[in-house]
């Protein structure tokens, strides 16, 4: 065996593998019983190569990671696999993931288990991120949480009394598909499901479309100095907002408004005590004035729509694990399943 690149004396057995599948990359972490990462790898998803080949490459990566950690592979007792939906958790099947069109109707859990030679726990990617934040992140001092991941779309994860809410149809916790606008001219969710859903109002895609509409209408904004209606992104909006651009700040505030409506619905459903905002579109997060404005807008809208005691007993904050939450949470779900045996 090659010389280990980590000091395993700093870690606690048993070990778990966490796999977070995205449209571009697959993040893989070797995690100990305390949620610490021994070794991390990221490999290209290469969607066109198909899911079977991806399982083979994940298994090869696991072998390499065990060597780097200086452990035997059999010390990794279980793996967790997080993927985009829709899925059937009972059958371990990927159904029709939008961003992985060549992976439809694939028995992901069984095939990865076969390649790794160990049991695999299967979980929605946003639920995996929620479990990561619950286990060792922002939610580590809570018994439950609601996570909303803000990116191209809006993902969600719900945990109550330490358990993920997966649902009968493996569709539990899909907070991005909550209805926040029931008007006849409500915006259409680009990922399917119909009109008025949170994803059409509080995602990076929604921010881009709102900005593009303003640019096309000739709205006076600093965004026009760096982008056109065709090229504008949520990052352009954020950068203009940091320069006190009126139109950009309106978009930030509108996004916070609708997210606050969605947060209220999630809290009123399970009363988790904590709402965590994750994903890449956080307008700079807690360390940026625009991120603080965004968070305060969400909190203000929630306060105006909920009960006083519920508001006082609910914390809303940004996530702390960033892009690591998914693979850590997938490993955490595997750990929970292992402990239940």
Cis peptide bond prior to 14, omega within 30° of 0 = yes
Digit-coded pLDDT (tens) for 130-176 = 999 999 999 999 999 999 999 989 999 999 999 999 999 999 999 99
Domains of the chain, start order: 8-125 (3.30.420.40), 138-320 (3.30.420.40)
**What pLDDT score does 20 carry?**
97
Contact 222, 249 (CB under 8 A): no
Structure tokens at 294: 């965004």
**What pLDDT score does 1 carry?**
35
**What pLDDT score does 163 carry?**
95
**What pLDDT score does 115 carry?**
98
Cα dihedral sign for 51, 53, 58, 62? positive
Digit-coded pLDDT (tens) for 29-75 = 999 999 999 999 999 999 999 999 999 999 999 999 999 999 999 99
DSSP letter string over 105-163? Answer: TB-HHHHHHHHHTS-EEEEEHHHHHHHHHHHHSTTTTSS-EEEEEESSSEEEEEEETTE
Cα dihedral sign for 340, 137, 98, 196? positive
Residue 248 CA to residue 291 CA, distance in Å, equals 13
**What pLDDT score does 6 carry?**
60
Cis peptide bond prior to 186, omega within 30° of 0 = no
Grouping H, G, I as helix, E, B as strand and the rest as coil, residue 340 is coil
Give phi and psi for 137, each to the nearest 5: -105, -140
**Residues with pLDDT less than 70, the chain:** 1-9, 191-192
**What pLDDT score does 2 carry?**
40
**What pLDDT score does 53 carry?**
97
Grouping H, G, I as helix, E, B as strand and the rest as coil, residue 250 is helix
């Amino acid at each position: 065996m090659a010389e280990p690149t980590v000091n395993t004396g700093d870690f606690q057995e048993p070990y778990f593998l966490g796999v977070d599948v995205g449209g571009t990359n697959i993040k893989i972490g070797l995690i100990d019983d305390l949620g610490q990462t021994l070794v991390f790898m990221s490999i290209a998803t290469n969607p066109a190569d198909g899911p079977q080949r991806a399982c083979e490459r994940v298994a090869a990566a696991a072998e390499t990671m065990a060597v780097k950690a200086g452990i035997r592979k059999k010390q990794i007792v279980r793996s967790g696999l997080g993927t985009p939906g829709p899925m059937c958790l009972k059958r371990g099947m990927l159904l029709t993931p939008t961003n992985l069109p060549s992976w439809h109707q694939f028995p992901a859990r069984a095939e990865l288990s076969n390649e790794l030679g160990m049991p695999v726990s299967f979980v929605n990617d946003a639920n995996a991120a929620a479990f990561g934040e619950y286990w060792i992140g922002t939610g580590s001092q809570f018994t439950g949480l609601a996570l909303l991941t803000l990116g191209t779309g809006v993902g969600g994860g719900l945990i109550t009394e330490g358990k993920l809410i997966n649902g009968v149809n493996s569709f539990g916790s899909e907070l991005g598909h909550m209805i926040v606008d029931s008007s006849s001219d409500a915006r259409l969710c680009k990922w399917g499901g119909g009109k008025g859903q949170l994803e059409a109002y509080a995602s990076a895609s929604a921010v881009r479309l709102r900005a593009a509409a303003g640019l096309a209408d000739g709205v006076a904004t600093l965004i026009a100095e760096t982008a056109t209606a065709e090229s504008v992104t949520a990052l352009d909006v954020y950068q203009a907002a940091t320069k006190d651009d009126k139109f950009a700040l309106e978009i930030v505030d509108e996004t916070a408004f609708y997210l606050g409506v969605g947060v209220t619905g999630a809290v009123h459903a399970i009363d988790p005590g904590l709402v965590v905002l994750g994903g890449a579109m956080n307008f700079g997060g807690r360390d940026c004035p625009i991120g603080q404005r965004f968070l305060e807008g969400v909190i203000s809208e929630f306060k105006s729509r909920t009960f006083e005691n519920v508001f006082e007993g609910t914390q809303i904050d940004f996530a702390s694990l960033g892009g690591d939450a998914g693979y850590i949470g997938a490993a955490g779900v595997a750990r929970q399943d292992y402990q239940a045996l």
